[in-house]
Structure formats: structure tokens, C-alpha cells
Structure 1
Amino acid sequence: MFESICSLPLSGELFTQVVHPSEPLIAVGLSSGHVSTLKLPPVDDEETQEGSRGRRGSNGTDVVDTAWRTRRHQGSCRTLAYSVDGRQLYSAGTDGIVKAADSETGRVTGKLAIPIPQSSTEDVDAPTVIHALNPQTLLLATDSGALHLYDLRDPAPTLPIVDNKTAFTTGKPASTHYPHNDYISSLSPLPASETSTSGFSKQWISTGGTTLALTDVRRGVLVKSEDQEEILLSSVYMSNLPARKSRGSTHEKALVGGGDGVITLWEKGQWDDQDERIIVSREKETLDCLREIPAGIGGFGKKVAVGLGDGKIRFVTLGQKKVIGEVQHDEIEGVVGLDFDVGGRMISGGGSIVKVWQEPMGTVGEDEEEEDSDVEVGEKRPAAGSDDDSDAGEEAYDSSDDEDKSSKRKKRKRGKGPAKGNSFSFSGLD
């Protein structure tokens, strides 16, 4: 279904990635605390003009430019999210800080400290997921199982820069919920209801430990599932699915990837327990990433791409409920990031590499049965191991990440407890 058109080495281990909602851009966050925005090859596959400042992929077919790169967090960058309009890029790290930056320039526009639960003995409640639910609401999940909701109309996440510096703020959440007893591993928004006047989502499902939960922006946690007796790692919400008349299907389901190599399907409105299963890995590899494949790619029918802990990406059709293809992202490292850009190309990340994939030209898939100031702007990609960037409009950090990067990533994925961050003193905080 897909062939690799570009393979990009990174200067450190990838912890997180996110694609821009309307431009061929991808932001990556590394274990070193660096954040970069990469310009992907043109969607129309036209030959890149000579003189473009960038770096060819390992297969020499396309060029990827670095729009900007900076040391954004003193600890690892755990999670990234674009705003709904793509103008802001939010990052959160094991330093216990959330930062908002102009996505075009990389300059920090504001930052806040992640709250620490009163009962916690840790210095930092490290983030696991950040997501811009709508233009008004930013969701932030943490290792403790906390789910913070920030009102983006509040100036805290987008503080103005004064005297070339940004001030820390407590950034008190508008509300906080605890949908799970373990760290929150994934979050997927539900589409806006037919009666919605804004057209934006106000509900989402999340996975944490061995449970799934449904939460509403105003009413809090609505439903929490039964214990599934298997860790749940990833999720995606899909609409317009074929209905099963005998069961009164809603045409909508949540798909959840587990630590046992199985996708479970959950009918909308029946969140207490799963109703179907699809075996993706008989070797019981972890299913760390789930993404819906854009319509028309690989033939007809609804499909998902699944990133596994062994570095494979498998493609599953929901019509026949089986694996229909596979590619290898990496021979050793697992897939920690999987997205589709505005042009329908698949972007996979894991280890110290990002790959761009597209459907082979001139082929048709088989039909399936259905029922900061030192930010480097526009510079050539730095050599591996280069850690001399500093944050836009901030002091440069001069410290290394004190974690075991590989074990840290696996610990976060497999729910073996929260990762410990460094202890910091924030000027102006209560």
C-alpha cells in the first residue's frame, strides 16, 4: 500500500511527532528536549527546485527542509500538538513545563507549569498527551492520570514577550479530572454532534492503564469502562462505518490498540466494554499507534494503520477485519509516531528516524468487501548530535537529559510507572 520516499535521520531519539493540519509540515520532539519543524517534500511530487536548503532522504528522492530547530525543554519533549488553525505549536516536557510557540517561527509566546497533585511525592507530574480539542480548549494529560483542561481564551498559555523574555505562570487549569488510575496513554476526540453550533468537538475518549473513559468538556468524566485486564495504549475514533442492523449500530466506533497485539472495537454509546476484536500481532507486540488511513488509499473501504513495538506498520481493513499489508519502519526500534499529512502521505517515526511514505504511483489497491532567539530558521539540517540550540526569546540551557532515553520511552508506553523529572524553581510561582 505504501512505499518509502524519504528517510530522515534525527539528532536524537524521537519521543513525539505531530503533523500540521493544513500544511505539509511535521513537528518532532526528541529525548534531548529539542523540537524541530520539518518541511516535507511537495505534495504534488514535483521535483524540488535547485538551491533549496535542505537534506535529501537516504534514498535520494526528495528534500526535507528544517523550518526551525531549538532546545525547547530541559528534559525530554514528551508530547506536541498544533492548535486547530495550526498557528500555535504546543509542547510539553519532563521539565514540567508547557510552552506555546508560533508554529511558523518557533518563537515562544508563553509557558506554564504543569500542576503537581497534592498527594504526589514527585517534583514533576510529567505530561503524556497534549491536544487542542477546539479553539477554546487545550487538553493536557499526565503520568498521575490527571487530565487538565485549559481555557485558551485565558492569556496564560499565550503570554506576550516582555523585554525579550516570557514570564512563567501557574497557568491554573479551568478544570481537572481523573478518568483513569494510571497514566493516560491516548486521547481521541469525538466529532461534533449534529446540534452543535460551533462545529467543534466537546467530548473525547481516553485510555489509561486497562480502562477506557468518555469525558465531556463541561460535565467531566461521563463513563468509565470495565477493567479490560490488558493495558490500552492507543486509540482512534472512526465514523461512517458499515452498520450491523441486528445490533443497531451507530456507524461510529472507537478502535483501541492494546499491549497484547489486539485492536478492540467499542460501539459509540456502549463504553462499558468492547464488542469486537481484531488480531494484529499474533506475537503480541504492543500496538503503540493507530491512525485512520485517508479515504481512497489502497482501494475502497475503511482502513487503519497500526504502529507496532517491533518497528512494523501493519494495515488493517475494517470490512474484513484482518491485516492486509505491512511495511517496516525500523528493524530494532518501535513506532512511536504515525500520522497522515495534508497530502495523504504516511509519516512514521521511531528510534532516531522519520520516514515519509506514499502510495506507489500508477497502482490501484484491491477492492475489499464491505457491509526562541536562537531558533534556526530556514537552516540546513544540523548534523547528528548537535545540541547547541537555545530557546527563542529565552536563556540557553546548558544541561543534558538525565534519563535513560530508551528505557524511559518503553516505561511510558508500557505503563511501568511515571517517569521522574528534574526539580526546578519557577520564579513568580506560588
Structure 2
Amino acid sequence: MFQNICAIPLDHDLFTQAVHPDEPIVSVGLSSGHVQTYRLPAGTSDDSDADETLASENGFGHIETAWKTRRHKGSCRWLAYSHDGGQLYSAGTDGIVKVADLQTGQVAAKIAVPLDPGSGQIDAPSIIHALSPQTLLLGTDSSALHLYDIRALGPKAVLKPQQTHRPHDDYISSLTPLPPTSESTSGLSKQWVTTGGTTLAVTDLRRGVMVRSEDQEEELLSSVMVTGLSKKGTSVGEKVLVGGASGILTLWERGVWDDQDDRIVVDRTPGGGESLDSLALLPDRVGPGGKIVAVGLGNGIIRFAKIGANKVIGELSHDELEKEGVIGLGFDADGRMISGGGKTVKVWGEKGAEDREAEEVEEAEKGTNDAKHALGDSDEDSDEEMGDSSDEEKPTQKRKKRKRNKGKQQKGHGILGFSGLV
């Protein structure tokens, strides 16, 4: 389905990545507190089978490091673009959110995260999301969810939360906005789904936490919204997909939040499946068609699940040697998949027709061999600040629960450059 066309090496462990929705830009936040932004070569805009991965006069391009800096003391926990894409928010274990110009990296404003009311210590942010030009959502390790009115942001502004909710008993691990309904006059999302600990919750901009699911008896780690599905029976054609710590992808019908609607077994590793650390929906023009979700696993594998058929239809490896978890997944404006984990970010282009045919033959042969093997083995399961580098946090520390039994060290490697570069 995809072929690797670029590997970007990082100096420190990747903690978070953000892929710009409108431009071929990817930003990364590292365990050292560094934030780096890269501009990829533009892709073609036609729908032919020609190589869409690169576009310049000779058919190739180069990666531009737009800017990089040591932005936080300690680790950079999360990155998010502003609603218009012109700014980059970064959140660190120093308890500070910084707002920087995307093109220059220059900091324009800061937000001090409120201290943990229980301990009086820094309440490190775990996730941020720009819901609209007005509202910024910020989740923390103590399970707080702060809502900020960012219209007042500025160099000297002291911004405090307008609202604070606690939708979960554990840190907020993912946040997915719900698309506005047909009755919306603004066209902006006003509700969102979060996961934290073993529950899913829905929060409304005005009404606060509306519902919290039953205990799912496993940690929920990632989520993504899928629209345009079949509206058979009582289905509204919209589902939230949630990745769990034991290799299960659960499907939740919009409006029915008490419990999951369906599930897909993404990983059947004996003794418990690998954690599903990241999710990304393939753009409509990418892939074999239908609604397909890319799933980043804790062992460095990326699998593809087709919704409707509810089955895994392919896989590839982000990290074949070190098997580091895929903690970042996304698609850039030109339909290329960006995966991140360990000390490497990789860019993947869609395979051409000949490559796809060869891959289908290989998968068919592999399926035949797997079936033969199963018959013989009945047990097979079907800037500024230059902080002390000692503040550096391992990604496994943030994900202490999802990696409880993994005991992995964070390593990585990579090569900067698109195939065919000179």
C-alpha cells in the first residue's frame, strides 16, 4: 500500500509529532525539549498513477529544516497547530504551553498550566487541541481538562482557564473533536471525545462533561473520527475508533457512548496484543478505497484496518530493527503518510499499480503459508531556554501504563532524504 521514501533521523527520542493539514509540513517534539519543523517537497495534485511523492523540475525534492530550537525544560509532551494553521502550540513537562509562529519558530505567547491542586506541583500537560479560533483545550497528567479563550493571547497576557473539567480518573490520552451537526450555524466543533484510563467521555463546550462510558477494563490510548459510513438500522454513519492497550480497536457509534458498538482485533500477540498507540484515517483519495485507518503499534508495526469489513488488510514496519512504538501517525496535504517513533520520522508514498500487484501476490502467498502453518500448530491464536539535559523524559515514562510490561528502551536511526535525491 505504501513505500518508504524518506527517513528523518532525530537526535533525541520522539515524544510527539504534528502534521499540518494544508501544507507539506511536519513538526516534532522531542524528549529533550527540542521542537523542530520540517518542510517536505510538494507532491503532485493530479489523480493519475504517476509518482505522487515528489514534485520539482526533475521529479525530486529535498527536505527543508524550517527551524529548530530547545523550546522546553524537560520533554516536549504535545504539539498542535492553531485553527488557521499559522501557529504551533507546544506543551512541555515544565508546565508551559508556548505559541510560536509556524514559519519562524518565534514565540508569540505563553500559557502557564495551573498547578496540580492535590500536590501543588507542576501538572504536566498530556495533550492540547485548538478546537476553534477561540478555544484551546488542554489536558494534564492529573486528569484536568482546561478550556482557554485564546483570543486574548499575547506577549504579556496572563491567560487562565475559563473552565476546568475532569472527565476521567487518569491522564487524558487522546482527544478527538466531533464534527458539527447539520444544525450548526458556525460550522465549528463544540463537542469532543476524550480517552483516559479505561473510560471514554464526551464533553460539550457549554454543558461540560455529558457522558462517561462504562469501565472498558483496559487502558484506552488513541482515537480517531470516521464519518461517511453506512447508515443501516439505527447507525448515523459516524463512529469514533479507539485504540486499546491490548491490541483491540473498538468502534463507538456517535450518540451511543455507554459502551462500544463493535471491535477489530488488530494484534493477536500471545499473552496480550501490542498497544495501539496512534491512529490516522487515510484520506479519501489514498489507498484502495473505503474507510481505512492506519494503526501504529507498540512494536513498530503499522497495520491498516478497513472499517465496514472490520478487518486488517495490510501492514508495514516503521522500525524493523529496534521495534520502537509508533507514537505518531498522520497524512500530509499531499496524501503521504508520516510515521514517527524512536529517533526516526518516516515519510511514505503510495505504491504504484505494479508495486500494488506484486504486493497483492506476496500477501496471497503469505496467507497460504500462514494457513498451512495454522493447520500444523493448534496453539496458534487466529529558545530560548537551555535547560539541563538531565530533565529529559523517556516516552515510556509518559506512557507508563500502556508500556507497563514492555520494558523497552528508546533507540532509533534514520537517513534524511527522499529516494533519488542528489
TM range (shorter): 0.7 to 0.9
Q: Aligned partners of 2:267 and 2:261: how far apart in 1?
A: 19
Corresponding residue for residue 230 of structure 1:
218
Q: Aligned partners of 2:29 and 2:241: how far apart in 1?
A: 26
1:208-240 deviation line (CA, Å, top 9, x unaligned): 000000000111000000001111000011111
Query: What is the SS of the residue equivalent to 1:134?
Result: coil
Query: What is the SS of the residue equivalent to 2:400?
Result: helix
The Cα of 1:171 is off from its aligned counterpart by 2.0
Q: Give yes or no for contact 1:180–1:211 (8 Å, CA) kept in 2.
A: yes
1:190-216 deviation line (CA, Å, top 9, x unaligned): 001111111110100000000000000
Query: Is there any run of 5+ residues in structure 1 with no aligned partner, and where?
Result: 51-60, 161-166, 367-389, 417-430
Q: Aligned partners of 2:259 and 2:387: how far apart in 1?
A: 49
Q: Give yes or no for contact 2:245–2:402 (8 Å, CA) kept in 1.
A: no
Corresponding residue for residue 297 of structure 1:
286
Q: Aligned partners of 1:192 and 1:364: how far apart in 2?
A: 39
Corresponding residue for residue 134 of structure 2:
136
Q: Aligned partners of 2:390 and 2:90: how far apart in 1?
A: 16
Q: Give yes or no for contact 1:76–1:401 (8 Å, CA) kept in 2.
A: no
The Cα of 1:16 is off from its aligned counterpart by 0.3
Which structure shows the bigger proportion of residues in helix conformation? 2
Q: Aligned partners of 2:36 and 2:134: how far apart in 1?
A: 25
The Cα of 1:170 is off from its aligned counterpart by 4.8
Map residues 204-353 of structure 1 onto 2, 5 A cutoff: 204-245=192-233, 248-283=234-269, 284-331=273-320, 332-353=323-344
Q: Give yes or no for contact 2:72–2:387 (8 Å, CA) kept in 1.
A: no
Q: Aligned partners of 1:214 and 1:46: how far apart in 2?
A: 40
Count of matched residue positions in the alignment of Structure 1 and Structure 2: 366
The runs of 4+ residues in structure 1 deviating greater than 2 Å are: 44-50, 361-366, 401-404, 412-416
Alignment-mate amino acid for residue 73 of structure 2? Q
Query: What is the SS of the residue equivalent to 1:63?
Result: coil
Q: Aligned partners of 1:242 and 1:124: how far apart in 2?
A: 45
Map residues 11-30 of structure 1 onto 2, 5 A cutoff: 11-30=11-30
Q: Aligned partners of 2:170 and 2:387: how far apart in 1?
A: 33
Map residues 367-406 of structure 1 onto 2, 5 A cutoff: 390-391=383-384, 396-406=385-395
Q: Give yes or no for contact 2:116–2:122 (8 Å, CA) kept in 1.
A: no
Change (3 A) 1:409 1:277: same
Corresponding residue for residue 371 of structure 1:
none
1:65-115 deviation line (CA, Å, top 9, x unaligned): 100001100110000000111111100000000000111110000102100
Corresponding residue for residue 66 of structure 1:
65
Alignment-mate amino acid for residue 297 of structure 2? L
Q: Aligned partners of 2:107 and 2:402: how far apart in 1?
A: 28
1:304-326 deviation line (CA, Å, top 9, x unaligned): 00000000000011121111010
The Cα of 1:407 is off from its aligned counterpart by 3.5
Q: Give yes or no for contact 1:231–1:414 (8 Å, CA) kept in 2.
A: no
What fraction of aligned residue pairs are identical, expressed as a percent? 58
Corresponding residue for residue 120 of structure 1:
119
Corresponding residue for residue 420 of structure 2:
none
Alignment-mate amino acid for residue 115 of structure 2? I
Q: Give yes or no for contact 2:75–2:391 (8 Å, CA) kept in 1.
A: no
Q: CA RMSD in A?
A: 1.9
Corresponding residue for residue 416 of structure 2:
none
Corresponding residue for residue 373 of structure 1:
none
Map residues 15-164 of structure 1 onto 2, 5 A cutoff: 15-44=15-44, 45-46=53-54, 48=56, 63-121=62-120, 123-155=121-153, 159-160=154-155
1:253-281 deviation line (CA, Å, top 9, x unaligned): 11000001000111111100001010000
The Cα of 1:410 is off from its aligned counterpart by 3.5
Q: Does 1:359 align with 2:350?
A: yes
